[in-house]
Amino acid sequence: MVETTAANRRELHLFRLYYFVSIGAGGFLLPFLSLFLRRQGLSGTAIGLLGTIQAAIILLAAPFWGRWSDRMRQPRRLIQAALVGTAVIGLILGRQDQFLWIALLLGANALITAGVSPLSDNLASSLSERLDNVGFGSIRLWGSLGWTAVTAVAGRLIELWGLYVAFVGHAAGMVLGAATLTLLPPASQPPASQETTPQGAWAENRETAVGATIGQALAAIRRSPALLSVTIALGISWLLGSGINQFEAIYLDELGAGETLIGLANALHAAVELPAMLWADRIARRFSAGWLLRVSFIVQAARMVAVLLFPTVAVIMGVRILVGIQFSFFNVGLIGTVRTHSSRTMRATTLALITITLRNLAVMISNPASGFIFDTVGAYWLYGLGLLGAIGGWVALREHNQPAMI
């Protein structure tokens, strides 16, 4: 750790602003994208297929984004290019109503944005390591604040002026996020030669100056009990629970909630993330990142049970509080686990493999099935699958990781 000087504080504030505007931009579009697709006349199966196409592209592209980031002195340039690219594609996508063009544009967007999240999180994690009393959660919560601010009003704006407003707002936020990164000092990521060996990290080939191959990162995951258990647990959870993310907005619309309530539902869970991220930082220091991950599966299961028992708009809105807690615990816990059990030269690649490649492999498998379930018996039963995923993930993490209180 180093003293938080005026220059370091400026860098910290800029990165918090970057999270605020870039994740806030997602709040304009992502909660309403499936609703847009539905209103363009697509079936649940077609929407699921689009999710599979995106997942397949992201699965292949994300590790390469991570590897480029690990090898570059200025990985933010990759992030900036991706942000501007997704802004342009979104503006075009919002005018399409044919499946083929929608699929092509979503695929192109997936290709250029596959690495934005792990690359950004890796830079933020590196920054928090270099500063006193700054946890990753205290940086990432500004993304939640941006999401809260945008989703609280986006639904109402869409009701007034139509769904294309979501694409315009999304594009504006992405361009602003790219501009914010330009203001960061040149060396926002320390060179790999300055790293110290993290506790429990795989230390093979440590003499490599920068970067790691995808094969080396996969080997690191296999050799680390902590990383392997997290990979198994998340794979189970995402395989069974991804359909809810795809179809919950449509389910709310079918239950009678308009765009305003759909936006507020997303604002609610993001608002909870603001204190929950700081809470997660403190819990991780007191217990462990793995402990946080185990608790996140329990919170996820509680959400599914509540909706299965009381499938109403009010309950779905209410359990958004649990979504905010679950996401905060998961995010801080996962970043902490990867930071502890992998070397700096392969962190971005490891994050990309787990959070992007693994997740989208699960989505590739689950989305067509979720779309079929939605068309056949409705979105309600997707919460049952989500409950099984949460239980399975908790069991896998507990069985393959160190014993803990939870």
Domain range 6-186+204-400, its CATH number among 1.20.1250.20, 3.40.50.300, 3.20.20.100, 3.40.190.10: 1.20.1250.20
- Residue 305: exposed, middle, or buried by beta-carbon count in 10 A (0-12, 13-18, 19+)? middle
**Which residues lie below 8 Å from residue 207, measured CB to CB, with a gap of 6+?**
none
At 195 the pLDDT is 40
Tens place of pLDDT per residue across the chain (406 aa):
445 566 677 888 888 899 999 998 988 888 888 889 988 888 888 988 898 888 888 777 766 776 666 565 667 788 888 899 999 999 999 999 899 999 999 999 988 887 787 778 777 777 777 776 677 777 877 887 888 888 888 888 888 888 899 999 999 999 999 999 888 776 544 444 334 333 333 333 333 334 456 777 777 778 777 788 888 888 899 989 888 888 888 888 888 887 888 888 878 777 787 788 777 778 777 777 778 888 889 999 999 999 999 999 999 988 888 888 888 888 888 888 787 777 776 777 777 778 777 887 888 888 888 888 888 888 899 999 999 999 999 988 864 454 433 4
The SS3 of residue 48 is: helix
Span 226-259, pLDDT tens digits: 788 888 888 899 989 888 888 888 888 888 887 8
Cα 76 from Cα 74, distance rounded (Å): 5
Helix (H) or strand (E) holding 253: helix 225-254
Would you kindly state where each structural domain of the chain is located, as residue ranges?
A: 6-186+204-400
Span 202-212, pLDDT tens digits: 333 333 334 45
Q: Residue 339: count other Cβ atoms within 10 Å of its Cβ.
A: 21
Cα 190 from Cα 187, distance rounded (Å): 7
Cα 85 from Cα 175, distance rounded (Å): 9
238 token code pair: 């995402």
Is residue 366 a contact partner of residue 152, using CB atoms and an 8 Å limit? no
**Which residues lie below 8 Å from residue 122, measured CB to CB, with a gap of 6+?**
66, 69, 75, 189, 347, 348, 351
> Which residue, 213, 233, 336, 221, is CA-closest to 284?
336
384 token code pair: 């049952």
227 token code pair: 């990383």
Q: Residue 286: count other Cβ atoms within 10 Å of its Cβ.
A: 8
Cα 278 from Cα 139, distance rounded (Å): 9
Cα 241 from Cα 363, distance rounded (Å): 9
The SS3 of residue 135 is: coil
Cα 402 from Cα 8, distance rounded (Å): 36
Cα 335 from Cα 329, distance rounded (Å): 10
Cα 288 from Cα 365, distance rounded (Å): 32
